Amino acid sequence: MAETTLEVGNRIFVNFAGEPEQRGFLRYLGPVDGQKGTWCGIEWDDVTRGKHNGTVNGRDYFRTREPKAGSFVKRELVSGGKNLFSQIEERYAVDEDNEENEFMGSRMVEKVGMQKVHQKQRDIFRLKMIVLDGMRVAKPPPLSTPLFSCCSELNLHNNLLHRWKDVFDIVNCFPNLRELILRQNAMENVDRVDAFADYPDVKAPVFHLVLNYCGVSETTITAVLSKFPAVTDLYASGNCLTSFNPGDCGKNLRLVDLEHNPITSFASIDSANAITGLESLSLMNCRVSEVALSGRFPNLKTLYLKGNPLHEWSSINALSSLKSLSTLFISSANFTAENGMDVREVLIAKLPTITMLNRGDVSVVERRSAEMRFVNRYSQLAEALKAPHEADLKRLIAIHGEPIKETVKKGISVIRVKLIYEGKLVERPVPASITVAKLQEIAARVFSLDPSGVTLFVEKEGRTPDELSILARQLSFYSIEAGDTIRIDA
């Protein structure tokens, strides 16, 4: 193997016989006591490959973060990263001698129509999207390399980048770049938000930046955002962040993904209320145990909270202050509903603006039913259980009126509904507790239809028809009353 230039602190790779490529940091380069030749002290990404922390026979050669993440490898087995241009050529350049024709049996057959495709592949400077995932990019192309003016998307997932200056220099080779993916590059961290002030300005209009699993700190992300002022979509999951406060450097953010970070509270996110335009926030699989908003996120529309230990209704009360919130993903199983209600119903009743909950649309009928059931059921709770819901009860009573006191009734409550199919109308008495699935069967029998092809809609005067889509629900869930019309589609 031809030796490549190595520099302590850089990312390297090693190909051991019969094993997948191994990567790490070069922490030492030089002699080792009692051994011949030059050795590389490596801190492995896969810490199970290591044997020590950089100290051997009482001598400190280097220091690893994990106790046994380091080992020595002969210099000739270790390779450094490549420049961007060489990696683009390796992935996209075509071997003209071998690609233009192929053999079929004993005859050489021209690949009809492929010549133009190959020409386009060869002309890498016309590529609109360059994907180099899993390659070995570690530094920018040579200064003489022309600009990649046609490229708007650059994917550098899982390469050997480490220094931010190299990233900035690479981006400046793409004047029209809009999307940059750096996922799974072990990037350096800085301790000041102005650490890159002396680096070249990034002129490309990058708006989509992916920093997932790069090991970067909050300060580093803020410093990076200062060089990418056009970024609106930031992905920074899996970076061990405990807070996220980019200040003015994040004022243009519209989407922020902070999944799989040990964030425990909303109070540690944008405490300065600088990201006022934020529309989508993901905190899935973090450690958020409470919600405290203090008037922040006025334009937040979509919120991902699944996989967090939220379980108090006070957190849902706080979410109700998000006046623009329309889509919510949350672990419903963490919450407890009272008096025979469903957690989904209570969430809908308490969050008046949401139109989608955990991938399920919230219809007008479902909302009305949830709100009315909430008023009737939760008004009867003991004061201690009712306390977290007083504000919602007051709000909903103003909309739907005072709760109906439930009394014990003998027999089964029956309502008469109108079933209509292709202009034919039949009135039928049905139990108020009947399920949608059972009503489908009744409608199918009345009109001689196949039950599996029947869809029911409730029609109320002055309202848009709503599908009775949840087959296991009782009619009372959809607030169906005597005299309502049930339209059958088949």
What CATH number is attached to the domain comprising 60? 2.30.30.190
Could you tell me if 27 and 89 lie in one domain? no
Q: Over 80: is that where the pLDDT of 99 sits?
A: no
Residue 372 included in any domain: no
Average pLDDT over every residue of 344-354: 97
Q: Over 80: is that where the pLDDT of 371 sits?
A: yes
Could you tell me if 348 and 454 lie in one domain? no
Could you tell me if 132 and 245 lie in one domain? yes
Could you tell me if 177 and 216 lie in one domain? yes
Could you tell me if 90 and 67 lie in one domain? no
Could you tell me if 349 and 427 lie in one domain? no
Q: Which helix (H) or strand (E) holds 117?
A: helix 114-122
Could you tell me if 141 and 195 lie in one domain? yes
Domain containing residue 298: CATH number: 3.80.10.10
- For the stretch 247-292, pLDDT in tens is 999 999 999 999 999 999 999 999 999 999 999 999 999 999 999 8
- For the stretch 46-68, pLDDT in tens is 999 999 999 999 999 999 999 99
Backbone angles phi, psi at 385, to 5 degrees: -75, -30
Residue 147 included in any domain: yes
Highest mean pLDDT among 92-101, 113-122, 183-192, 416-425: 183-192
Q: Which helix (H) or strand (E) holds 414?
A: strand 414-421
Average pLDDT over every residue of 36-41: 96
pLDDT band for position 329 (cuts 50, 70, 90): very high
- Domain of residue 483 covers 414-489
**What order of strands is seen across the sheet that includes strand 78-80?**
70-74, 39-44, 22-30, 11-14, 78-80
Number of domains, the chain: 3
- For the stretch 144-166, pLDDT in tens is 999 999 999 999 999 999 999 99
Could you tell me if 339 and 210 lie in one domain? yes
Could you tell me if 358 and 476 lie in one domain? no
In this prediction, what percent of the chain has a pLDDT beyond 70?
A: 92
pLDDT at 477: 80
pLDDT at 411: 53
Encoded tokens for 136: 């070995």
Residue 165 included in any domain: yes
Could you tell me if 307 and 440 lie in one domain? no
Residue 482 included in any domain: yes
- For the stretch 456-487, pLDDT in tens is 999 887 778 888 888 888 887 888 888 889 99
Residue 457 included in any domain: yes
Residues found in the chain: 490
Residue 379 included in any domain: no
Could you tell me if 357 and 428 lie in one domain? no
Residue 249 included in any domain: yes
pLDDT band for position 118 (cuts 50, 70, 90): low
pLDDT at 93: 81
Could you tell me if 166 and 197 lie in one domain? yes
Task: Label residue 278 exposed, middle or buried (CB < 10 Å: 0-12, 13-18, 19+).
Answer: buried
